[in-house]
Chains A and B, each alone.
Chain A
Amino acid sequence: MDDADFWNLNSNAQPLIFPAPLPDSPPDMKIDVPATGMNVALRRWSNLQVETQKLLSRPGFVPTWKPYWQKPKTIQVAFPDLIDFQTKEEKEGEPSEKPKRKPKPKPEQAEGQEKKKLTRIKPPDEMLSMEDRLFYVLQPPLESWLAGQELVMPFEPFPYQYEGIAWLFSQKSALLADEMGLGKTMQTITAVRLLLASGQIRRVLMVCPKPLIPNWQREFKLWAEELPVTTLEGDANRRKMLLNMKSVPVLLSNYEVVVRDLQDVDESELPRFDLVVLDESQRIKNRDSLTTQVIGRIPRVRSWSLTGTPIENRPEELASLFEYMGVVPKRATPDLRQLKQLADVYILRRTKDLVQPDMPPRLDRDAHLELSPAQKSAYDIAEKEGVVQLNDMGDEITIQHVFELVMRLKQITNCDPLTGESAKKDRLVADMEEIAASGAKAILFSQWTKTIDWLYEHTKQFGALVYHGGVPTKQREPILKQFKEDPNSHLLLMSYGTGAVGLNLQFSQYVFLYDRWWNPAIEDQAINRAHRIGVKNPVIVTRFICKDTVEERIDLVLQQKRAIFEKVLGEGDTSTESLSMNASEVFGLFDLKARAGEGTRKIGPQPHAA
């Protein structure tokens, strides 16, 4: 079909669709029409008309835009004025130019390691103010802060010590519970030093057991030589003046003096401190003790406590420490689950196994000894008579009676009072000959000063020295110095009470536990005088245990207690089992039954009483 057919031009048939009128002339362009013929309108010419319009106004630009920026809002963090505790050499010379110091000695463990990870101070989780959080975030990493640019460190701290320092720095309430020997003293002193230097604190009260005052003085001198440390001593007027003197940055005192000087002071007149640190803070584990109550009243901003044994007997002892730290209300009795939650936030505890995998090991060996004939005879008689007496007492028997018998028997295992025979002493002398010949040093612990004095007479050939509560405080430091420096002095005889805490005797390779303490935690403290940071050789610990005596039975109980201690402080124990040696256990030493009313209670003398 051509176009004519499509348009129905050549046909007479009636068109299906009436076309539009034809133009005067055919279109001069080809119109492509589809077969459906639906667009017939294309046959129409467009009707176009052109008109001109006048512009009414000038064209504008819409929208208008100017390069205007609102000035960003800013936030400021202010830092306290710098406090400069200058060392003597800096006071004399020009302090501003960069120091030209010798490289610091580094511990052997640090050598050969790759570039160290920097330890940054993190804001505590409970800190909400942004300015406060930024204050901590913007502090330099401890490694650079303590790299000798500003604060000189005599030795490079270990990474876990940096972490401990950073943690303490940011904590208002803290319990540093590192295992003995990991450097709690050094970490605390360094954190105090940084807080003082950064203007965060200005007055610190450091409270420790009396025998440890010289130790803290020495450690402050070593780790923060620029800090003036004042010991609270002298007559009452002088002590009162020191307590209220605001220009004393670090005031060092012992528990007894603090209690004596502050127990009668009115609440409103108590001296205020920015930080109170309690060393060996298990001293306040009993909420009802005068010491706990007096120390709890001291107005303070930060409350730290230090102990390697936050739990000596029962988990509940932690509640008293938490109360001092202000993280539980007074007289609160948190359950074990709550205690563990608080511990996660406020306690930092590391063990040697965790932080010092390469530290020389501690080798425990139990020396099971046969009593000498005279000892055996004396022991058997004493035990037999003692048990008979106890049984004869009937219902009047108390734990104290049993305890007295235990003490008498233990003394016989140490030495027969009549003949002076002693299996332990003989073994000690034999061991010491070997130790002295090798040039090594040993420390020995006993719970009795009389035993120590008696042993001294028999070990003079090894240059033995005595260090117990009967030795005047002023003579103790020279004794420790002599033991360390005198090559002819191989043995230091110590009491648990005086020698078990705070001393650094890591140059000793041997530890003897001549008799056993009632609590494994105290024994660990004693052992850790030697097995601590800086130890270069394995430490051999020898426990003397006489066969078929009460010592064997006590050893069994101590082992069980140790297992429970580790369980509670370790992965957690949901039971409320008491850690105290209870009456049943003590009576059980002699196959006696506990009487009514003898529940769980602590036995044995106070560790610091010796």
Chain B
Amino acid sequence: MGQAKQRPACVLGFYQTWETPSGETSGGILVTSHRGRPIEFQCTLPVRPNPTQQLLYGSTLRPFLRGELIAGALRDKLESKPDILFVNDPDALNAETWGHVPVVSFQPGPTDSLKKQVREHSVWIDPDDAADFDKAIAQFEKYVPDSADLKEPLARVEQALREAMGQAA
């Protein structure tokens, strides 16, 4: 029996946001080992933009909240930096927030986003992330088991957000 202290060979991040029935948005990020076991979880308390903010940000409010404000707060708190970050929301696809951590969306992103393939999934990345993505995906392919369900941890994050916000079914 040996206790593993070292960082897993490949660290995966799963970022998901969730809008409460009352219109507030919270976000959570689950960092797992390449085998899907949780290493760290961070979530935010719900954020509610006021009417002025809603008016002035207009259509950019949602990408700002999800891709910058909430994601940035989580990034700052994370102790374990993922090698690659999966999101299920194109509004959360913001390469700038995550620096060299490539953000991979399972949903089509903005028109300039690049379409890639990860296992059986079509994914979209920010063009600025292309180099980091190629590097990270090589690690990913080497260590993450073929049977891994890449979307499943996002469901865990959403369930945890519901639980944390007292909305668990």
Tell whether A pairs with B.
yes
A487 at interface by CB-CB < 8 Å: no
- Whether A140 touches B3, Cβ cut-off 8 Å, given contacts A72-B47, A76-B77, is no
- Pick from A75, A83, A96, A198: contact of B42, CB under 8 Å: A75
Q: Is the CB of B145 within 8 A of A149?
A: yes
- Pick from A73, A77, A138: contact of B45, CB under 8 Å: A73
- Chain A positions 107-163 with a Cβ under 8 Å from a chain B Cβ: 118, 120, 123, 130, 133-134, 137-141, 144-145, 147-150
By a CB distance below 8 angstroms, the chain A residues around B33 are 82
By a CB distance below 8 angstroms, the chain A residues around B149 are 144
A120 to B153, CA, bound (A): 11
Q: Which residues of B contact A (CB under 8 A)?
A: 1-5, 8-9, 26-27, 30, 32-45, 47, 52-53, 56, 69-70, 72-74, 77, 142-149, 152-153, 156-157, 159-160, 163-164
A144 to B155, CA, bound (A): 14
A331 at interface by CB-CB < 8 Å: no
By a CB distance below 8 angstroms, the chain B residues around A69 are 47, 53, 69
- Whether A86 touches B77, Cβ cut-off 8 Å, given contacts A76-B40, A137-B156, A140-B37, is no
Return the chain A residue nearest B146 by Cβ: A98
Q: Is the CB of B41 within 8 A of A140?
A: no
By a CB distance below 8 angstroms, the chain A residues around B144 are 98
A249 at interface by CB-CB < 8 Å: yes
By a CB distance below 8 angstroms, the chain A residues around B34 are 98
A221 to B159, CA, bound (A): 35
Q: Is the CB of A81 within 8 A of B35?
A: no
Q: Is the CB of A84 within 8 A of B4?
A: yes
- Chain A positions 32-84 with a Cβ under 8 Å from a chain B Cβ: 65, 67, 69, 71-79, 81-84
Q: Is the CB of B44 within 8 A of A74?
A: yes
- Whether A140 touches B36, Cβ cut-off 8 Å, given contacts A72-B44, A81-B4, A97-B142, is yes
Q: Is the CB of B147 within 8 A of A72?
A: no
A445 to B72, CA, bound (A): 69
A373 at interface by CB-CB < 8 Å: no
Return the chain A residue nearest B26 by Cβ: A72
Return the chain A residue nearest B166 by Cβ: A130
Q: Is the CB of A150 within 8 A of B37?
A: yes
- Pick from B3, B145, B153: contact of A98, CB under 8 Å: B145
By a CB distance below 8 angstroms, the chain A residues around B74 are 74
- Whether A79 touches B40, Cβ cut-off 8 Å, given contacts A72-B70, A74-B73, is yes
A329 at interface by CB-CB < 8 Å: no
User: A73-B44, A123-B163, A144-B147 given. 6 additional CB < 8 A pairs?
Assistant: A75-B44, A81-B3, A96-B9, A97-B9, A130-B163, A140-B156
Q: Shortest CB–CB separation between residue B1 and chain A, in angstroms?
A: 6
A420 at interface by CB-CB < 8 Å: no
Q: Shortest CB–CB separation between residue A88 and chain B, in angstroms?
A: 13
By a CB distance below 8 angstroms, the chain B residues around A147 are 145, 147
A412 to B47, CA, bound (A): 83
A85 at interface by CB-CB < 8 Å: yes
By a CB distance below 8 angstroms, the chain B residues around A85 are 1
Q: Is the CB of A83 within 8 A of B1?
A: yes
By a CB distance below 8 angstroms, the chain B residues around A145 are 36-37
Q: Classify chain A: how many residues form its interface, as a range.
A: 35 or more
A148 to B144, CA, bound (A): 12
A263 to B127, CA, bound (A): 70
Q: Is the CB of B143 within 8 A of A137?
A: no
A99 at interface by CB-CB < 8 Å: yes
A605 at interface by CB-CB < 8 Å: no
Q: Shortest CB–CB separation between residue B57 and chain A, in angstroms?
A: 8
- Whether A141 touches B152, Cβ cut-off 8 Å, given contacts A73-B44, A84-B2, A98-B143, is yes
Of B30, B45, B147, B149, most A-chain CB atoms within 10 Å? B147
Q: Is the CB of A65 within 8 A of B52?
A: yes
Q: Please name 29 pairs of A and B residues whose Cβ atoms are closer than 8 Å in the assembled complex, sorted by A.
A: A69-B53, A69-B69, A72-B70, A74-B45, A74-B77, A75-B164, A76-B41, A77-B38, A79-B40, A82-B4, A83-B3, A84-B2, A86-B1, A86-B2, A96-B8, A98-B34, A98-B145, A130-B163, A137-B163, A138-B41, A138-B157, A140-B37, A140-B153, A144-B148, A145-B37, A147-B147, A198-B37, A228-B1, A247-B1
Q: Is the CB of B69 within 8 A of A134?
A: no
- Pick from B38, B52, B147: contact of A138, CB under 8 Å: B38
By a CB distance below 8 angstroms, the chain A residues around B152 are 118, 140-141, 144
By a CB distance below 8 angstroms, the chain A residues around B1 are 83-86, 228, 247, 249
Q: Is the CB of A71 within 8 A of B73?
A: yes
A84 to B1, CA, bound (A): 6
- Chain A positions 191-245 with a Cβ under 8 Å from a chain B Cβ: 198, 228
By a CB distance below 8 angstroms, the chain A residues around B47 are 69, 72
By a CB distance below 8 angstroms, the chain B residues around A81 are 3-5
By a CB distance below 8 angstroms, the chain B residues around A71 are 69, 72-73
Q: Shortest CB–CB separation between residue A330 and chain B, in angstroms?
A: 35
Q: Is the CB of A137 within 8 A of B56?
A: no
Q: Is the CB of A76 within 8 A of B164?
A: no
Return the chain B residue nearest A226 by Cβ: B1
Q: Shortest CB–CB separation between residue A96 and chain B, in angstroms?
A: 4
A78 to B78, CA, bound (A): 11
A77 to B161, CA, bound (A): 12
- Pick from A98, A99, A249: contact of B142, CB under 8 Å: A98
Return the chain B residue nearest A96 by Cβ: B9
A17 to B96, CA, bound (A): 81
Q: Is the CB of B147 within 8 A of A149?
A: yes
A33 to B39, CA, bound (A): 85
Q: Is the CB of B42 within 8 A of A76?
A: yes
By a CB distance below 8 angstroms, the chain A residues around B9 are 96-97
A266 to B47, CA, bound (A): 56
Q: Is the CB of A75 within 8 A of B145?
A: no
- Pick from A73, A99, A137, A138: contact of B145, CB under 8 Å: A99
Return the chain A residue nearest B43 by Cβ: A75
A273 to B26, CA, bound (A): 40
A249 to B3, CA, bound (A): 13
Of A74, A86, A133, most B-chain CB atoms within 10 Å? A74
By a CB distance below 8 angstroms, the chain B residues around A120 are 156, 159
- Whether A134 touches B52, Cβ cut-off 8 Å, given contacts A74-B42, A83-B3, A145-B36, is no
- Whether A65 touches B56, Cβ cut-off 8 Å, given contacts A72-B70, A83-B3, A137-B156, is yes
Return the chain B residue nearest A82 by Cβ: B4
Q: Shortest CB–CB separation between residue A133 and chain B, in angstroms?
A: 6
Q: Shortest CB–CB separation between residue B74 and chain A, in angstroms?
A: 6
By a CB distance below 8 angstroms, the chain B residues around A137 are 156, 159-160, 163
